[in-house]
Amino acid sequence: MSKKIEVEIVGVAGDETLYIQFFKDGTPIPSELYRLQYPGNSYVEKMSERMIEQKGDETKIKLSLRTREFFSKCAFPLSEGNTELERDLIEQFGANTRKKIDVDKIHPALFPIWQRVIARFLDGDLFADVFELTTRSDAGGASGGGEPQG
């Protein structure tokens, strides 16, 4: 019988921070609670450009660059709570025992799930899942694909 591993958004802080927890058959996996911090659209664009290498007729996409950049700039184990939300999440799911993420130490069962999280996070798709639950912090009107108000 196969066990189902999933990741869920368990918290949102502002427009650029998500909290995720990995689950196995609906049960939280210990030490798998993370804060995801969006690095900004310009950074994501520049990283995307660096991922694509073109030589003559050959095009290479360097996914390892995206993975390394994501884990160094965007994903952080939630090992201590600096805000009320973080303290609540740690109380509910338990603190992550890691201080940083080592790509080579990610469990093989979780790595393909992380790859999907990375793609969805950097293209904004994960934020679309919770967009209606947050209010825009910028005063410049609708942005990021939201519906204009009025």
- Is 16 a residue whose pLDDT tops 90? yes
Q: How far apart are CA 137 and CA 143, in angstroms?
A: 11
Q: Which residue has the higher pLDDT, 136 or 123?
A: 123
pLDDT, tens only, 26-74: 999 999 999 999 999 999 999 988 988 888 899 888 888 999 999 999 9
Residues 89 and 33: beta-carbon distance below 8 Å? yes
Question: Residue ranges of the domains in the chain?
Answer: 5-133
Angle of helix 41-51 relative to helix 111-122, nearest 10 degrees, comes to 120
CA distances from 100 to 12, 22, 33, 77, 120 (A): 21, 16, 12, 6, 21
pLDDT, tens only, 87-130: 999 999 999 999 899 999 999 999 999 999 999 999 999 998 88
| CA-based nearest residue to 116, from 125, 128, 106, 104 | 125
What is residue 143's predicted lDDT score, i.e. its pLDDT? 40
Q: How far apart are CA 121 and CA 134, in angstroms?
A: 16
pTM as predicted: 0.81
| CA-based nearest residue to 16, from 43, 45, 38, 42 | 38
What is residue 132's predicted lDDT score, i.e. its pLDDT? 63
Radius of gyration of the chain (CA): 17
- pLDDT confidence tier of residue 150, bands split at 50, 70 and 90: very low
| Mean pLDDT of all residues in 128-149 | 52
Q: How far apart are CA 121 and CA 138, in angstroms?
A: 20
